[in-house]
Amino acid sequence: MVQKIGYLRETPSQTAGPYVHIGLAPNFCEIGGVYDADLGISLINDRTLGERITVKGRIFDGAGAAVKDAVVEIWQADSAGLYNSPSEMRGTADPNFVGWGRCPTSAEDGVFRFETVKPGRVPYKHGRWMAPHITLWIVARGINIGLHTRMYFPDEAEANAEDPLLARIEHRDRVATLIASQDGSIYTFDVHLQGDKETVFLDI
């Protein structure tokens, strides 16, 4: 017999269900008075450094219908490429930018929307750098384990071309599923859960 390795098993995931808003965004679903405001509704304030941008989009199911009961969370570096996290060892991030946001998709049209700043570049390994990106995490009824993906910027073609994650996508026509479309400072990132336009999701 060998020694027992002694690791625990990760708690298994379950769907967030259709009433996820009760827990993650109670004011959004008209449960007032418990929390002052829903967590993650605002990423920036007047003093936040960097270029203001809007990130919006919708999530589509395999039949092309917008998912109207999802919750999207984003996590990103500040404009200098630093994360506001105790595990960030390279410096101190902008104290006026938490870098995390949460938005339920609209019950009317399925749109999620974040007012944020454009993130700076962050390092990969072996002296390589990643292109500016925003990490997304999506939960909803019918999604058994939260889906991770990334949004990249169409105006960063040079950085995108050397990004280690984008470089790993074997079918090159799928790289486009991770790149937002741009209209001035508004970036639109639609997520397709299934089918011909399926977004690249990550096991990371």
Partner 1 sequence: MSDKTNSKPEIGAFFARDRAWHPPAFAPGYKTSILRSPQRALLSLDGTISEITGPVFGHSILGELDNDLIHNFAKPGESAIGERIIVHGRVLDERGRPVPGVLLEFWQANAGGRYRHKKETYLAAIDPNFGGCGRAITDEDGHYAFRTVRPGAYPWPNGVNDWRPAHIHFSVFGHGFAQRLITQMYFEGDPMIWKCPIVGTISDKAAIEQLIAPLDWGNTIPMDARAYKFDIVLRGRRSTLFENRLEGN
| Token couple for 187 | 């970036």
The DSSP result for 8-19, as a single string, is PPPPPP----TT
- The span of 45-53, 110-118, 146-154, 182-190 binding partner 1 (CB under 8 A) equals 146-154
Selected binder of partner 1 within 44, 83, 110, 180 (CB under 8 A): 83
> With respect to partner 1, which residue has the nearer C-beta, 34 or 183?
34
Number of residues binding to partner 1, judged by CB under 8 A: 88
Residue 95 binds partner 1, judged by CB under 8 A: no
Say if CB 63 and CB 56 are below 8 A apart: no
Q: If we measure between CA atoms, which residue out of 122, 37, 36, 128 comes closest to residue 81? A: 122
Selected binder of partner 1 within 41, 54, 75, 106 (CB under 8 A): 75
Selected binder of partner 1 within 95, 142, 154, 161 (CB under 8 A): 142
Say if CB 132 and CB 166 are below 8 A apart: no
> Which residues in the 44-73 window bind partner 1 by CB under 8 A?
61-63, 65, 67, 69, 73
> With respect to partner 1, which residue has the nearer C-beta, 56 or 124?
124
Q: If we measure between CA atoms, which residue out of 72, 64, 60 comes closest to residue 16? A: 72
Selected binder of partner 1 within 1, 91, 109, 184 (CB under 8 A): 91
> Which residues in the 160-179 window bind partner 1 by CB under 8 A?
164-165, 168-169, 174
Provide Rg for the chain, Cα atoms. Answer: 18
> With respect to partner 1, which residue has the nearer C-beta, 86 or 184?
86
Q: If we measure between CA atoms, which residue out of 12, 132, 146 comes closest to residue 73? A: 146
The single residue listed with the structure tokens 């073609």 is 157
Residue 1 binds partner 1, judged by CB under 8 A: no
Residue 22 binds partner 1, judged by CB under 8 A: yes
Selected binder of partner 1 within 8, 46, 173, 183 (CB under 8 A): 8
Least separation in angstroms between residue 89's CB and partner 1 is 5
Q: How far is CA 198 from CA 56, 58, 127, 162, 194, in A?
A: 18, 13, 31, 23, 5
| Token couple for 15 | 């769907």
